[in-house]
Structure 1
């Protein structure tokens, strides 16, 4: 279980550290982090990617100075 948590934290950190400059990049980076995190935890990687993409786009829209 520790390896899964470590991979999830690493994927989340990389996804947030690389928000992207355009909406497309933001969706790709968020989707990758969400998909990997979901797959590591044994969930649906496609659903995780969709949630991650949407969340990253919304986050970067709300806090553009942090991206």
Structure 2
């Protein structure tokens, strides 16, 4: 794995961990939407080898599932 991919992966993980603290004042549905989008983005990136379109598509699908699933 190249050094840039390692750094980018570490930055994504750090950003995800820091963003979890922002969920404290959110509603249950908003929190589930954000979590679903984050998980979907990671899943889309993994499944497509880091493709931008795959990451964005995964985030969109995950966000929708998180939003609808919390109703």
Partner residue, 1:64: none
Q: Which runs of 5+ in 2 are unaligned?
A: 1-25
Q: Which runs of 5+ in 1 are unaligned?
A: 1-19, 62-67
From 56, 66, 70, the equivalent of 1:56 is 66
Moved over 4 A (4+): none
TM-score, length-scaled by structure 1: 0.54
Alignment root-mean-square deviation, CA: 1.8
TM-score, length-scaled by structure 2: 0.52
Which protein has the larger Cα radius of gyration, Structure 1 or Structure 2?
A: 2
Deviations 1:3-59 (A, max 9, x none): xxxxxxxxxxxxxxxxx8422211110000100001001151011101100001111
Length, aligned pairs only? 42
